[in-house]
Structure 1
Amino acid sequence: MKAAPFAYHRPDTVDEAVEVLATGDAKVLAGGQSLVPVLAMRLGRPGTLVDINRLPGLDTLVVSGGELHLGAAVRQRRVERSPEVRGVPLIARAMPFVGHRELRSRGTVCGSLAHADPAAELPAVAACLRATVVVRGPDGERTVDARDFVTGAMTTAVGADELVTGVRFPLSREGEGFGFAEIARRHGDFALAGVAVRVRRDGEAVLAAFGVSDRPVVRDVTALLDDPTEAALRPATDALAAEVVDTDGDAHGSRGYRARLLGVLAARELARARREAHA
């Protein structure tokens, strides 16, 4: 199929982009790897596309103030290959699982966050690390905690007249360990279940599950690490999975199957992250 007719606007400034978004039914075009298929299948019919690829400042990738700053136009492939991303190991581990290499060459990190697919990797990573999403609107700039950013399936805290301009990920600190894993039918497919984990040597542990609910599910799992071996963790992670998995399931996997996957992945990655934190 072909997209329904739409107007195309390429603003010169972020403020101009916000003005266009405020006029009515408009969508932001950055990488387009999620938006273009939606348009082609006519699942969405925006009146205007606002192309932000040439906006100054949105292609920034820099480490500053203990954070990795990514502009809204920064491609996933650039992040994947950048030496700066070594300061955020969880992104480095998750990025090869985001679609296929060809898609990552055009897709953006902020675009994945804004699309908010329940099975997407990057929203879960951002929530696990408590990243900060930067949003610009008619009333100026504001920030949103990544754990509050996704409000439901394909739904975020960004208003129709607002634009995501960037995201800030905290750099890892000494004594932190990380884990990331997912199960998909084929590499590049959306995950049936996945986990992103951060463990600190002082005992604090956070787990973000994706593919099992309408948004990333974040839990403080510090209490689970009294006995940090994978075998000892399994009963607790199985119980956690039974709590957080609330999808009805589909042709690719039932609710029970996804819960089983999540329990196994959570135990394995928590044990691995703790070993790394204490190494």
Structure 2
Amino acid sequence: MNPFKYHRVENLQRAKDQQNLDENAKYLSGGMTLLPAMKHGLIQPSQLIDISTIVELGEIQVDALSVTIGAATKHDRVATSSLVQKEISGLAYLASQIGDAQVRVRGTLGGSLANNDPAADYPAATLALKGQIITDRRTIEAEDFFTGFYATALEDGEIIRKVRFIKPVQSAYAKFKQAASGYALAGVFVALYPNQEVRVAVTGVGQGVFRWLAAEKHYSDSSQVIDLHLDNLITDLHATSKYRAHLAKVLFNRAATQIKQYT
């Protein structure tokens, strides 16, 4: 690991000012992706700007329509928050299934979204829950945020401040873990909104998170055979595309059944 400078800042303005001084600086929050990448020489920032203790980035707020969670909020806090458990139980459960205990007490919501690992959990919840990613510059709808393999709509130096999730009537997440890493070999998040509006998002099976429109259409009869086009899925050392498609169908049925039990 190459030498670098470290700065801890107390507010967003200081973070932006510091980043403007050095285009090779990187923001640090949980560090679950950044630090291993530095260790292996994949990224060599000249300085790290630690934003993990900025108060506004760690807040959880609830209003009549939504739950808003600060970008630096740890996975464990999302999982154990009584507010999140009450308002969006599927999101709290999802957070409890990320990685292992060590990852959950360090990793953050904003870091996961900014990295956009194709097997990460939060992107599925953000897409299914009509998420809005609120940065220091603008508000980005989840539909527009995830742009490709490890790619997002974030611009250089842009900081995620918080994420707004629209409260559903009920939600559920079903996941099949890759044993060694805890990442999703397949994960399906289902959110039910008023007037039987259903949103289904899938992670772990392709180049990135996506909505499963066929599953949304057939939610009322989850026993029906639903097609998941194999040309959109990946095959790697962990699983074939056919196996991932099978997992997605099973997990959708589990999540849909769970929601129906409580509605």
Question: What's the TM-score once normalised by structure 1's chain length?
Answer: 0.86
Q: Take 2:161 and 2:155, find their aligned partners in 1: how far apart are those partners?
A: 13
Among 129, 154, 158, the residue aligned to 2:150: 154
1:80 & 1:223 partners in 2: Cα distance? Answer: 30
Q: Offset at 1:50?
A: 1.0
Paired residue secondary structure (2:201): strand
Give the whole-Å Cα distance in 2 for the aligned partners of 1:158 and 1:109: 15
1:212 matched to which residue of 2?
205
Distance 1:177 1:54 in 2: 32
Could you say what secondary structure the match of 1:207 adopts?
strand
Query: What is aligned with 2:162?
Result: 166
Name the residue aligned to 2:61: 62
Deviation string, structure 1 residues 9-52 (Cα, Å, up to 9, x no partner): 22332122123333412211011122111111112112221111
Q: Distance in 2 between matches of 1:208 and 1:53?
A: 29
Point out the more displaced range, 265-274 or 89-98.
Answer: 265-274
Q: 2:218 aligns to what SS in structure 1? A: helix
Q: What is the distance in 2 between the residues matched to 1:159 and 1:224?
A: 37
The aligned counterpart of 2:237 is 251
After superposition, the CA RMSD in angstroms is 2.0
The whole-number CA distance in structure 2 between the counterparts of 1:65 and 1:199 is 17
- Name the amino acid aligned to 1:242: H
- Taking structure 2 as the reference length, the TM-score comes to 0.90
**Distance change >3 Å, CA 177–CA 66, structure 1 → 2:** closer
SS state at 1:169 partner: strand
**1:4 equivalent in structure 2:** 2
**Alignment deviations for residues 161-216 of structure 1 (CA, whole Å, 9 cap, x no partner):** 211111112223xxx33221111232752111110011246322111000112221
Instruction: Determine if the alignment matches structure 1 residue 203 to structure 2 residue 196.
Output: yes
Residues 27-106 of structure 1 correspond to what in structure 2 (within 5 A)? 27-86=26-85, 87-106=87-106
Percent identity over the alignment?
Answer: 30
Segments of structure 1 that go 5 or more residues without pairing to the other structure are none
1:269 aligns with 255
* 196, 208, 217: which one aligns with 1:223: 217
Q: Distance in 1 between matches of 2:163 and 2:231?
A: 26
Q: Relative to structure 1, is the Cα distance of residues 243 and 201 closer, same or farther in structure 2, using a 3 angstrom cutoff?
A: farther
On the 8 A contact 2:75/2:96 being kept in 1, the answer is no
2:171 pairs, out of 170, 178, 189, with 178
* Alignment map for 1:111-122 (pairs within 5 Å): 111-122=111-122
Of the structure 1 ranges 58-67 and 26-35, higher mean CA displacement relative to structure 2 is found in 58-67
Contact persistence 2:91–2:173 (CA under 8 A) = no
Which residue identity lines up with residue 48 of structure 1 in the other structure? Q
Displacement of 1:268: 2.9
Which residue, out of 180, 183, 188, partners 1:190?
A: 183
SS at 1:202 equivalent: helix
Q: Residues 90 and 45 from structure 1, CA distance in 2 versus in 1: closer, same or farther, beyond 3 angstroms?
A: same
State the secondary structure of the residue aligned to 1:251: coil
Structure-2 separation of matches of 1:244 and 1:128: 22
* Count of matched residue positions in the alignment of Structure 1 and Structure 2: 260
